Chain A
Amino acid sequence: MADFGLHSLPADLSVDSVVDDAVFTDVTESGEVYRTFRIIRFVYEFDAHPQGWTHLAVAVAERNSHEVEVFLRIENRVIEESYVSANAD
């Protein structure tokens, strides 16, 4: 059982009601490789997630429009950290 809060978000929740900029860049390979994504919808909001994530979202890669799920840490409407976890489909 999860020991943090998890709230489903409505499918029609607008992205710009949560963040100022829907475009973010995920950094991998020890800080060397930068890939840009655009959030298309938020799925969950977390409360006291042990790894500090605040949201789970679905995003598309700018380069190939591939859909992914991404964990986000959002503070003051800015995406501070991200982790692209898996294909969304």
Chain B
Amino acid sequence: MDIVICSSTTEGSAHLEKMLVSIDDWNLVGRTQSARGLVDLMNSEHVDVGLVTSDALEIGLSARRQLVQPTEGTATWVAHLEHESVLHMVKAAQFGFDDVITGPATAQSLERDLADIVSRRRSVVTNPALSEVDLIPGLYSRIVEYRDDTDRDLCELLGLGLEDRAAAFVLHTTIQDVRNRIAALLERNGLSTRTQLATLHIRSHLSIEDGR
């Protein structure tokens, strides 16, 4: 198995690298601290697993948005957390990671966990810690679809924190039109709430440089 590691610091990946080197069937093909570096690695090397540390989840998301299918779709994406953290599990799930592994671990446990994740015997969305949380897995790996420029402007205003009535004023339209548009945008993009729409719009427009 070929693996790349993405961490925002060299210290963050050092322990993982040390363990991976000792696992016979795993080959560390590269390491990077940037979204651009991760994109370049994924496009130039055969990669089975993208392993991203918790401090680099945004970098991982930013890079994956730049990758063209099937490159993005063939790798398994795993988030590594230093400690058990439901917050980071939620982030990993919403960012579209396949699963998370936690803790300092040993080479044997790391090998076992990665093998289970790659073979789809486990995933972050079935983690009991998230059973009470209403998630949309992979939500933030998507790009918002708009019907027209007014829809896009409306999403921009939602992302700027405006209420419906204020957005109607700025767009020179009625509150009825604004609310109908929001409902249509939610339906079109498979979303449940206004907040999901606003935050997805914001994240859709982050550039790879924003992810670092």
Provide the residues of chain B in CB contact with A16, threshold 8 Å: none
Q: Is residue B35 within 8 Å, beta carbon to beta carbon, of the partner chain?
A: no
Provide the residues of chain A in CB contact with B10, threshold 8 Å: none
Provide the residues of chain A in CB contact with B179, threshold 8 Å: 24-25, 27, 34
Provide the residues of chain A in CB contact with B180, threshold 8 Å: 21, 23-25, 36
Provide the residues of chain A in CB contact with B143, threshold 8 Å: none
Given contacts A25-B180, A36-B180, contact A31 B194 (CB under 8 A): yes
Given contacts A78-B176, A80-B176, contact A25 B183 (CB under 8 A): yes
Assembled-state Cα–Cα distance A51/B179 (Å)? 21
Q: Is the interface of A mostly helix, strand, loop or mixed?
A: strand
Q: How far is the CB of A79 from chain B (nearest CB, A)?
A: 5
Total interface residues in chain B, CB < 8 Å: 16
Are A34 and B194 touching (Cβ within 8 A)?
A: yes
Are A21 and B176 touching (Cβ within 8 A)?
A: yes
Provide the residues of chain A in CB contact with B193, threshold 8 Å: 29, 32-33
Provide the residues of chain B in CB contact with A35, threshold 8 Å: 183
Provide the residues of chain A in CB contact with B174, threshold 8 Å: 78
Given contacts A21-B176, A79-B176, contact A34 B195 (CB under 8 A): no
